[in-house]
């Protein structure tokens, strides 16, 4: 079961990356890829890379999925939550700028 959970987590990271790529493509195509969005995307990529490296390092050190699961899940959930909050904040700022 632990191996299936690990693969599910890796799949979630991959899906997150695909969704982020798609969102960034949409912003570029719509001419909405602002400096703020670029900065946010770079920060998200750095954090995502850090999670993936941490997972690979833990696995290389022989840690079992049961030992690293909680930390990896917490990091990933934090990254996802921060992305949602930042995206909402950027959208609110842009709406205020366009409307005001």
* pLDDT tens, residue by residue, 41-95: 888 888 888 888 988 888 888 888 777 888 888 888 888 888 888 778 777 777 7
Instruction: Using alpha carbons, list the distances in angstroms from residue 84 to 3, 10, 69, 87, 89.
Output: 29, 20, 22, 5, 9
Dihedral over alpha carbons 98, 40, 21, 25 (to 10 degrees): 30
Instruction: Kindly list the distances between the CA atom of residue 16 and the CA atoms of 1, 21, 76, in Å, as whole numbers in the listed order.
Output: 23, 9, 9
Q: What is the pTM (predicted TM-score) of this model?
A: 0.70
**pLDDT of 1 above 50:** no
| Cα pseudo-dihedral 56, 57, 60, 66, rounded to 10 | -80
Q: Which 8-state DSSP code applies to residue 100? A: -
DSSP 30: T
Average pLDDT over residues 21-26: 88
Strand, helix or coil for residue 62: coil
């Amino acid at each position: 079961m632990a191996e299936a959970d690990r693969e599910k987590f890796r799949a979630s990271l991959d899906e997150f990356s695909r969704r982020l790529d798609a969102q960034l493509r949409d912003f570029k195509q719509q001419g909405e890829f602002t400096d703020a969005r670029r900065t946010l995307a770079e920060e998200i990529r750095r954090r995502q890379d850090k999670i993936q490296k941490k997972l690979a390092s833990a696995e290389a050190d022989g840690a079992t999925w049961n030992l690293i699961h909680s930390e990896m899940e917490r990091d990933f959930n934090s990254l996802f939550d921060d992305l949602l909050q930042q995206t909402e904040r950027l959208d609110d700022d842009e709406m205020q700028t366009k409307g005001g």
